[in-house]
C-alpha cells in the first residue's frame, strides 16, 4: 500500500516556488488516462498577492498533496484574471508522459528487432527523459517492429502493450508504468451511509451480445452453407442476454493464430460484461482509513445497496479504481472515483503480424 500522509494541503512547486492556498483543485489520475492532469485555481482579494505568483507555461512542476507527490510534469496553461471580486490565477498541466502522447516517435533506425514491449517503450520514452517500469517478469517477444513516420510514441507503446497484455499509465513521478490489472487492495471501502456522499451506477446492455463468433480475418468466402467455416473458430455465449444479438469478432491475424480467436471472443464478452456496470462514487476524503490516497489500479470494496450494487447475498463487491479525481471547491473536499469489475480493464489480446518472421518467434519469450 502507498505511504500514508498526514494532511491534504495541495502545493504546486515550480521555479523554486512553493504555491499553496489553492481555492479550487482538480487532480486526476487513471489507468486508462495518460497523462495524469491537474487544474488549480487561486482567488485573491488583493492584486499584489496574485501577482507575486510567477508561472510560465512549459515550466516543469510537481503537484503535492501533503508531503506526497501526485503529479510530476509540466505547466500547460497559465491564466491570470481580474474582476469585481478580485484577482485570480488558474494553472493547468499534465504529467511528463504528455510528451509521449503529443510528440512524434523518435528512434534513429525506425526499427527494433527481437525485443519486448518494455524495451520498446523505454527506447521511445528515453527521448523525453521518461523511464519505464514493468511488473511482468516474462513478456512475449516482438520479433520486429517498424515505426511509421509521424505516429506518436504512445500510439506505438499502446500497440505493443496490447500485444503483451499490459496497461500503460503514468506514475506520480511522471514516468511510465506497464502493468496488469492490480491486486493490491485499499485498507477501507466505499460504503453507502458511511463515507460515500454521492454515487451513481450506470447499468447498460447496448454493448453486450448473446453470441460472440471469432474470425481470423475479414476476408471470408460464401459457400452454400453460409460463411466459410475454416476462417471461423471460437464462440462465447452470454446466457444473460436473452435475445439474439450476435457479434463477429475479427482477430486480424493469420491462420496460425487460431488460439487468438478463443482469447479474443472470451475477452470481448468478459470485458463488455465488466463495463456494463460502472460506478461513479464521491467520498468525503482523499484518503482511505490508513491515510493513503485513493489510487488507480487498486481494488476497493464497494457497497451501494440503494443502487443495487452488491453481490447476490448483499455483500460488498471488490472492484478496481479506474480513475480518481481529488477535488476541492466551494462545496468542500471530495474524491471522485470511477470503478468497475477488474475484468473491465483486461487488455485486448493481439498479435503483431510479421508473416514468416512471426512464425519463427511465436514460441519465444524474453527473460
DSSP character at residue 344: G
CB 300 within 8 A of CB 339: yes
pTM, entire model: 0.86
pLDDT at 123 over 80: yes
Nearest CA to 70 out of 61, 78, 79 is that of 61
Residue 349 CA to residue 105 CA, distance in Å, equals 24
What cell was used for 248?
463477429
Nearest CA to 37 out of 134, 219, 174, 161 is that of 174
* pLDDT 10s digits, 129-176: 999 999 887 787 777 778 888 899 999 999 888 888 899 999 999 999
Which domains occur in the chain, in start order?
10-95 (2.30.300.10), 100-180 (3.55.50.10), 190-204+275-345 (2.30.300.10), 211-274 (no CATH)
* pLDDT 10s digits, 310-355: 988 889 999 999 999 999 998 899 999 999 999 999 887 766 554 3
Residue 229 CA to residue 220 CA, distance in Å, equals 9
pLDDT at 187 over 90: yes
Amino acid at each position: 500500500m502507498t505511504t500514508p500522509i498526514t494532511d491534504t494541503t495541495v502545493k504546486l512547486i515550480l521555479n523554486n516556488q512553493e504555491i499553496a492556498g489553492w481555492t479550487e483543485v482538480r487532480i486526476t489520475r487513471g489507468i486508462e488516462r495518460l497523462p495524469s492532469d491537474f487544474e488549480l485555481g487561486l482567488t485573491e482579494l488583493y492584486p499584489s498577492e496574485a501577482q507575486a505568483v510567477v508561472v510560465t507555461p512549459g515550466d516543469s512542476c510537481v503537484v503535492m498533496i501533503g508531503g506526497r507527490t501526485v503529479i510530476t510534469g509540466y505547466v500547460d496553461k497559465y491564466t491570470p484574471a481580474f474582476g469585481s471580486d478580485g484577482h485570480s490565477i488558474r494553472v493547468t498541466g499534465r504529467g511528463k508522459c504528455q510528451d509521449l502522447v503529443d510528440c512524434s516517435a523518435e528512434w534513429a533506425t525506425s526499427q527494433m528487432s527481437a525485443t519486448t514491449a518494455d524495451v520498446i517503450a523505454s527506447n521511445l520514452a528515453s527521448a523525453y527523459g521518461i523511464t519505464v517500469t514493468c511488473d511482468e517478469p516474462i513478456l512475449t517477444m516482438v520479433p520486429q517492429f517498424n515505426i511509421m513516420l509521424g505516429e506518436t510514441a504512445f500510439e506505438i507503446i499502446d500497440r505493443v502493450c496490447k500485444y503483451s497484455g499490459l496497461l500503460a499509465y503514468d506514475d506520480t513521478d511522471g514516468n511510465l508504468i506497464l502493468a496488469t490489472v492490480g491486486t493490491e487492495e485499499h485498507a477501507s471501502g466505499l460504503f453507502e451511509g458511511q463515507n460515500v456522499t454521492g454515487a451513481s451506477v450506470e447499468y447498460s446492455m447496448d454493448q453486450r451480445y448473446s453470441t460472440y463468433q471469432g474470425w481470423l480475418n475479414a476476408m471470408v468466402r460464401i459457400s452454400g452453407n453460409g460463411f466459410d467455416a475454416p476462417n471461423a473458430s471460437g464462440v462465447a455465449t452470454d446466457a444473460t442476454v436473452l435475445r439474439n444479438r450476435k457479434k463477429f469478432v475479427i482477430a486480424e491475424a493469420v491462420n496460425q493464430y487460431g488460439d487468438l480467436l478463443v482469447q479474443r471472443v472470451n475477452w470481448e464478452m468478459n470485458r463488455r460484461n465488466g463495463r456494463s456496470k460502472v460506478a461513479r462514487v464521491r467520498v468525503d476524503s482523499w484518503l482511505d482509513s490508513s491515510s493513503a490516497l485513493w489510487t488507480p489500479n487498486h481494488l476497493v470494496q464497494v457497497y451501494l445497496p440503494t443502487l443495487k450494487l452488491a453481490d447476490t447475498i448483499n455483500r460488498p463487491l471488490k472492484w478496481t479504481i479506474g480513475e480518481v479525481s481529488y477535488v476541492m471547491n466551494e462545496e468542500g473536499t471530495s474524491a471522485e472515483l470511477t470503478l468497475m469489475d477488474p475484468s473491465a480493464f483486461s487488455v485486448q489480446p493481439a498479435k503483431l503480424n510479421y508473416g514468416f518472421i512471426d512464425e519463427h518467434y511465436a514460441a519465444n519469450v524474453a527473460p
